[in-house]
Structure formats: C-alpha cells, structure tokens
Amino acid sequence: MKHNVDGLLDIVYQYYPRGVGIMDDGDIDVQRCAETEEHDRLVRARIEASKGDRWRGLRRRIQDGFPGRFMNHSLHLPAGGCDACYSFSIDMPESTGRTLWFHVSFLVPYYIVHSSRTIDIVKQTRDSFSVKFLGLHFIVPRSPFDPRFVARPDDGQKFAIITKKYATFDLLPDEQPCAEWISGDIEATFGCERMPPEIGTVLVPDVMAGLRLPGEARIYDCLFTDYHTWVEPSPSDESAPGVQIEAGNLTQPLIAVLTVLAALYCILWPLMPKLQSGSCYYVVKTDGFLRKDELIDALAKIRVLLDPPMTRWGVSARREFEAAARELEALVASWDGEGEPPAAMVAWAWSFLASWPVNSEPVASS
C-alpha cells in the first residue's frame, strides 16, 4: 500500500468537509455542504478527470476486448456530478447473470475490482401497515394483525424476506481471468494498485459522501463511489419492514376514517403551494382513529390557505373548496368526537370525492 489509513483519511478530508451540514435536529443541510471549499475541490477534480486521455484509451481497449459487454458508468464526470473514480462494468456470460465492476480512483493511486452477491434476510414485520385507498397512500402504525383495522389478517405476513445486494471481492473462478486481464491494463495505464477491502471498508465517521450519511461513509465511498454496499449487510442493521394491505381487506370502521381523511386532504393539498411542483409523493399517516381536534386544526389551515388562495386549484375552484370546508366544519362541530366518524360525515366524504375532479386540470369556476 502506498498509504496507510491515516494518510487516506487526510486525503478524504481534502474533498469532504468534516462535520459540515449536520443540523441540531439531526437533519442534513445539503446546500451548505455543496458550498464548501472541499466540495468545490471535488467537483473540479471530477471535471478535470473527465478530460483524461488515459481514461479514454483504457475505455477504448476494454470495449475492443469485450465487445457488447462493456458499460461506462462515468458519463456524469464532465458535469462534476458524483463519484471520485472512473467506473465501468463487464457483463459476464448470460448464463451466469453476473457483472464485474471496476473503479479507478482519480484522487488516490488505487483501483478496486468486485462482483456482487445477494443475501436474503428474514425479518419479523413491524406493527405498521400501508394501504392505497381512494388514490392516496396511507401509513397506519398499527399491527396488521389487529382485527380492529384488518378484516382478514394474514399470518403469512408476520415475517418478510429482504433481499440485499452487496459487493464481494472474492471473485469466482470464471470471473478471475477477466479481472486479471483488465487489472493488468489498469495498473499499466495509471500506475496504481488494488486497495484491499480491510482498508477500503474503514468507516469515515464525520463526513457525508453522496448518499452516505455521517457514520455510514467508508473510504471506498469517499475515494471511489457510494453506488455499492461495501460490506455484507447484517440482519441487525436492517429495519423491520411494514406490511402492505389491500384496501378490500380493511374493516368498515377504518374505511370510514380513511374516507373522511381522503376528502380532507383532497381539499388541503391542492391549496398548498409547496405541493404543486409535481414531484411530491403524498402520504397520510394515521393511527386508525379520527380525532376531532386534528380535523379542526386542518380546517383552520384550509381557511388560511383560502384567504386568498395561492395555487391554480385554489384560484379556479375557490367557491367549491369554501363550500366543502363549510360543510365539513358543520359536521365536525356537531360530532362529539367519540368513536367512529358519524355516518353523515362519511356520506359527505364519499359525495365530495365522487364529484371532485382531483385528477383533471383546474378550470375556473363559472
């Protein structure tokens, strides 16, 4: 090795700011990271690397040696987008379905070669389920085996199999000739050597690298790419999955709750300017019960958003929204807040959802 771990970490810190972008609440300020001197240095290194004649020459030789099997994964480098290496892969014969990956760092004189493996992890599902109902995605943090919410619980959903892919450096016999041939060309072209996993998988605790949060990034992520999982996943590291429930398997009380919530959010969301970009994924979280105080709070927010409306939907259908909000306010006011939502409220919700063109373009009220 040309460097020890400490030397490699010193290089990492030249391109990744330490402790920057981590907010007090644990959230990440990506923009602040992008404005650092270290990130600017990394972007410039990517752009400069994209101009390299050695990379173009290697790429041409590999393409000629493995026609139809070569894939360039570094097309983003000219824009300074991501990674700290040249990346390409070679498809093994179709009968194997495997792929060999090669990464040549342009920050340090090292490269890596690996294949991929998959592992199936069996986990007990958690007390939470999701359901798509009336076009909305609901998350219900309740047991999917609770008969109050699920009409026909399925014991087969008590456990789930999670399939994870990870990088392996232990190449199979039929992978080794290809790896050795290309490795020889990489070493001759760049004068680099292979970085062993015991070095590359060392954690770098105080930086973010691409999709890796502080505490997750490894030397491989920082000096090569964060595209792969570099160590075999441990069952203890995997979160227990929730369960997907079909809408037809919900109990009538939960259907009543979700129907009212669907109508409420079909009023609220079209009025919220920040949700009009077209890139939002709408999710409603509910514990399975309708709460009067939460309805009152949401209706108060709707009144503010309607005075005046700031979205195309709000402007074009203001009267319809105001009428629907008034009707729901009256129903909420007459409800004691106990038990299931009253039948009149559920009937109003069904009527509103049936008449409201939520999937069409807004048209001005006449």
In a domain, 133, yes or no: no
Domain boundary among 235, 259, 287: 235
The CA R_g of the chain, rounded to the nearest whole Å, is 27
- For residues 87 and 205, membership in a common domain is answered with yes
Per-residue pLDDT of 124-157, as tens digits, reads 999 999 999 998 999 999 999 999 999 999 999 9
Shared domain check, 71 and 19: yes
CA distances to 46, 151, 157, 217, 242 from 144, rounded to whole Å, are: 48, 10, 8, 35, 9
Asked if 336 and 223 sit in the same domain, the reply is no
Angle at 39 between CA 36 and CA 43, to 5 degrees: 140
pLDDT of residue 360: 47
Does some domain include residue 83? Answer: yes
Same domain, residue pair 178 and 298: no
Residue 189 sits in the same domain as residue 302:
no
Q: CA distances (Å), 168 to each of 103, 105, 111, 115, 252, in order? A: 14, 18, 15, 5, 50
**156 falls within a domain:** no
| Residue 214: predicted pLDDT | 78
| Per-residue CA distances from 212 to 7, 48, 68, 225 (Å) | 21, 24, 32, 10
Q: Which residues pair with 150 in a beta bridge?
A: 250
pLDDT given for residue 366 in this prediction: 34
Indicate the pTM of the whole model: 0.71
Residue 153 belongs to some domain of the structure: no
240, part of any domain = no
pLDDT in tens, 18-77: 877 666 655 666 777 778 999 999 999 999 999 999 999 999 999 999 999 999 999 999
Q: What is the DSSP letter of 213?
A: P
The token pair at 296 is: 């009152």
- In this prediction, residue 26 carries a pLDDT of 55
**Pairing state between β 129-133 and 136-140:** antiparallel
User: By residue range, what is the domain housing residue 293?
Assistant: 251-355
- Which pLDDT score is estimated for 364? 41
Count of domains for the chain:
2
Q: With a cut of 50, list the residues of the chain below it in pLDDT.
A: 358-366
**Which of 201, 235, 269 marks a domain boundary?**
235
The pLDDT of residue 365: 40
